[in-house]
Each structure stands twice: as structure tokens, then as C-alpha cells.
Structure 1
Amino acid sequence: MTAIPEGASGEHRWPAVAALLVALALYLALPSTFLPVLRYAVVGIGLLLLIPLLVVNPVRMHRQTAWTRGISVAQALLLAAANQVMLVELIVSLVEPATGSGTRLLLSAAQVWLTNVIAFALVMWELDRGGPVVRRALDRAALPPADIRFAQDEDHDAIEEVAAASSRVAGWRPRFGDYLYSSLSNSMAFSASDSIPLSGRAKALMGLQAFSGFVLLALVIARAVSLVSAS
């Protein structure tokens, strides 16, 4: 078991929990034609997996065991994988105008896009440098290799007021909000911005996210133009 040292403060769990609940709600709110059995199963499994994680770390991330690590990673990967299935279903609906209301399809596209942002943020939050508990429990020299390089990781040689918040000077370590911002910027710019993928798995995940976001945006724009032209 890995645990935060006595007197140290672990990362707060609830920002990630709130994001997960929003993603599951968006997933559940998709049109009934979008594979209802899969959607209900993913939401149910996601909520069930959350219960033991909250029992072990109800407020802050203080402890991690092999089984809690497996559950938390599986939960994030399940949401990301299921949303890719919904993305394919949405693409089919977008290229077949007769399948439903254009306005409802555009709203569904926004739901899938936002869920994608949250899902990939959760995955990287769980994977990078051993996860949220390990990132704070171990000395920096003992951390697993980083999957993502943030701006704070290389700001130690900048001007004083910038260097003061860097990893080397202030001991800064990424929190869920940093991964959420990275995921959001990658989904909007289709490339890394302030954070750079280092490992093969990080590049694969961020590449998949950027590609799916680009395809979704292109089809949504095309669908919107067709709706305007038809009005």
C-alpha cells in the first residue's frame, strides 16, 4: 500500500468526483436511440466503482492499494472507451440527416465532446507519475517517469515570481485541474499547449482525443451549415 506521509496533505478527491458525475450525467442524457443498454451499463458500473474509492479516500487522496489503483484506472478507461463508442454512433447520426432532429444531434455532439474532455482528463490524472496518491506520497526522485511535462516542470530558471511556483522551487505537483485544462486545450487546439506528452501512451491518448475532437467538430460544422441552408 502507498500512503501519504504523516502530516502531509493529499490531493482533494472531489474535483475529480464532480467531473466524473457530470460526465456520467451527460452520458445518461444522450438520446434514447444512442445504445441505451451500453449507456445505462456504463453509468451503473461507473457509480458502483466509485463507492469503494470513496470509502478508502472519502475527502483527500491519502491511501492507494493495488485494487483501488486498478478500480480507479479501470473506471477512467471505461468512460473514455465508452464515449468513443458514442462518438462513432454520433458520427453515424450526423452523416444521416434523416435519423433525427438536427438541433438534438448538435446538442448530443456537445455532450459527447464535453464527456471526452472529462474522460481523457481522468485517464491522464490516474496514469501520470503513478497517479494522484503516488505523486504526493513519494519523493520526486522516486516518482515513476512522467507521462506529461507541464510548464511548472521547467520554470525554475525563469524570473523569480515565475520560478517561485515551479516544481523544483515550490515542490509543485499536478492536480486534477491541471489535467482537465490540458484535456480541454487539447480538445480545442487539437495539439498540446502548456503540457507536452512524453510517453508513448500519453501521445497515443492525446492523439486519439485530438483526432476525435477534430472529426466531431468538422461534422458538426457541416451539419450546422446544412441546417442553416435548409432554413
Structure 2
Amino acid sequence: MSHHPEPGRPGNVDSERLARIEALLAPAVTGIEEAGRRLLPAWRRVTKGEPRWPSTLAVLAAVALQFTLPERLAIHPEWLLPTLETALLIALVAANPYRIERGSTLYRWAGLVLIAMISAANGWSAVHLVIGLVRGTEGSDAGPLLATGGSIWLTNVIVFALWYWEWDRGGPVARIHAERTYPDFLFPQMQTPELAPEHWEPQFPDYLYLSFTNATAFSPTDVMPLTRWAKMLMLLQSAVSLLTVVLVVARAVNIFK
């Protein structure tokens, strides 16, 4: 037979005191937890997803640039890869039409396959352009040569921006859920948070800028790669960009002479 403390007895008084203490401490604990969350920079907290439209416009630009290349430098049939890329893009936009917030294994693989297809198409064009320049079968006219080289170079910038954006800390969906603590790229705002807005976190335009500066300077500028894969990816982009620019410009100069 169980016995319960009656009102006024020591056991009951202790329970009442404990309940009052917990009630008094609850707001303080909540405030401390909230302050702790605020001390963390936005890129390390759970936040809302970034806007969809910047990355969508970049993919559309890369697809459009494929149609500007000569037929001999494209994968045949010419319409196949752009059609598949557009279909995948539509599916990705349908899953997250306004902000990139919901993710799944299928969604992530669809994004990676889309970038891989654009990379394959541009890599094919770049390799065949370089082979043609070395053999002397490409570049009889400076104008079309510069236009072709420029399209390949610009697509290269977009492609690597997409790779950086998709892989840094597990991708855009993983970043907003703060699934990974350590970044793969160190942006200036991470080093000097007092000079950045309170809610700053890297979004696609930041990775596009990273890709552009790496393709023009052939080395890191203000954004530092921290992991080995990030360093190797930037190395590959610099090598492709340097090779394309040097060969195209050298051939164009010879034509002008």
C-alpha cells in the first residue's frame, strides 16, 4: 500500500519548492539558449533556404551557351543533353520553386547529375577545341574563335560555381539545416563577422564570384579552400581556364598578324 505525502508534510513541501524553483529558472534557461544561438553566426545556424532563381538563371545560361558552339564541338545529337538538362532543372524547380529548403537523396542526386551533364558537354567542347588548335584545324577566323573560346570559358565558370555551391558543407539544403560544422570554403565574412550582416551566409552568387576570380586569377583570391577536394577542384578549374585562354588567345594573335 503506497503512501502519498499529505499537504504540509516535508515531502510535499520539498516538491512544491522544487516546482517553484524550476518555474523561476525556466525563463533564464530559455534566454541563455536563445543567446547561445544568437552568438553563432548565421552560416552555422539553422536558417531559411536561399532563393532559387540565381542558380536557376546560371543553369539556363549554361544550357543556352551550348547552342552557341559550332556543331563540330558539340555532343551529338546536339539537342539531347540540353533537353535532359532542362528536364532535370524543371524537376528541381518544381521541388523547391521559391527557396531551396526541402531535400532528399533523389533531389540531391538530380542536382549532381544535372551539373555533371553540363560539365561533360563543356568538357567535350573544350577538349575538341584544344585538339583542333594544336592540330591547326580550328581557328581560321579570329572572331568565331574568340566567341567559341569565350563561351567555353564562361560555361566553365558557371559549372565550377555550381560544383562549389553543391558540395560546400553538403550542399544548399544541408547548409540551411547546419548539418556540418566545418566549411569547405572560408569566406571573408566568416573571418570578420563584425563586418558582415547578422544573417549573412554563403549563397550561389558568392560561389559564382569565387569561380570567376579563380578562373581569372588562376589562384584563390579572398576565398580560401580548406578541404582537399576543394583545393583539387579549384586546381582543376584554374588549369582548364589557363589552357583555354592561352591557346585561344595565342591562336587569335597569330591570325591577326
TM-score by length of 2: 0.77
Question: Which letter maps to 1:147?
Answer: D
**Residues 8 and 145 from structure 1, CA distance in 2 versus in 1: closer, same or farther, beyond 3 angstroms?**
closer
2:98 match: 59
**Residues 55 and 73 from structure 1, CA distance in 2 versus in 1: closer, same or farther, beyond 3 angstroms?**
same
Pair 1:133 & 2:173 matched: yes
2:255 match: 227
Partner Cα separation in structure 2 for residue 221 and residue 33 of structure 1: 20
Pair 1:181 & 2:220 matched: no
SS at match of 1:135: helix
**Residues 35 and 201 from structure 1, CA distance in 2 versus in 1: closer, same or farther, beyond 3 angstroms?**
same
Cα deviation for residue 8 of structure 1 reads: 5.4
Partner Cα separation in structure 2 for residue 199 and residue 44 of structure 1: 34
1:122 match: 162
Partner Cα separation in structure 2 for residue 23 and residue 38 of structure 1: 18
| CA root-mean-square deviation | 1.9
Same amino acid, percent of matched pairs: 37
Partner Cα separation in structure 1 for residue 119 and residue 161 of structure 2: 9
The question of whether the paired residues in 1 share the 8 Å contact of 2:74 and 2:124 is answered with no
Cα deviation for residue 36 of structure 1 reads: 4.0
The question of whether the paired residues in 2 share the 8 Å contact of 1:165 and 1:172 is answered with yes
Cα deviation for residue 96 of structure 1 reads: 3.8
Question: Which letter maps to 1:149?
Answer: L
Structure 1 residue aligned with 2:191, among 133, 139, 154?
Answer: 154
SS at match of 1:21: helix
2:245 match: 217
Cα deviation for residue 97 of structure 1 reads: 3.8
- Cα deviations across residues 110-162 of structure 1 (Å, max 9, x unaligned)? 00000000000011111101111221122xxx425322111111113xxxxxx
Partner Cα separation in structure 1 for residue 182 and residue 115 of structure 2: 20
Cα deviation for residue 44 of structure 1 reads: 1.6
SS at match of 1:33: helix
Structure 1 residues 1-231: aligned runs within 5 Å: 9-37=48-76, 39-99=78-138, 100-138=140-178, 142-156=179-193, 163-165=194-196, 170-229=198-257
How many corresponding residue pairs? 211
Question: Which letter maps to 1:201?
Answer: W
The question of whether the paired residues in 2 share the 8 Å contact of 1:94 and 1:105 is answered with no
Compare CA radii of gyration and give the structure with the larger one.
Answer: 2
5+ residue gaps, structure 1, are 1-6, 157-162
Partner Cα separation in structure 1 for residue 121 and residue 224 of structure 2: 25
SS at match of 2:245: helix
5+ residue gaps, structure 2, are 1-45
Cα deviation for residue 78 of structure 1 reads: 2.3
The answer to which of 178-187 and 50-59 deviates more is 50-59
Partner Cα separation in structure 2 for residue 68 and residue 94 of structure 1: 39
TM-score by length of 1: 0.85
Cα deviation for residue 209 of structure 1 reads: 0.5
Deviating above 6 A after TM superposition, structure 1's stretches of 4 or more consecutive aligned residues are none
The question of whether the paired residues in 2 share the 8 Å contact of 1:64 and 1:133 is answered with yes
- Cα deviations across residues 176-205 of structure 1 (Å, max 9, x unaligned)? 000000000000000011111111211111
**Residues 36 and 83 from structure 1, CA distance in 2 versus in 1: closer, same or farther, beyond 3 angstroms?**
closer
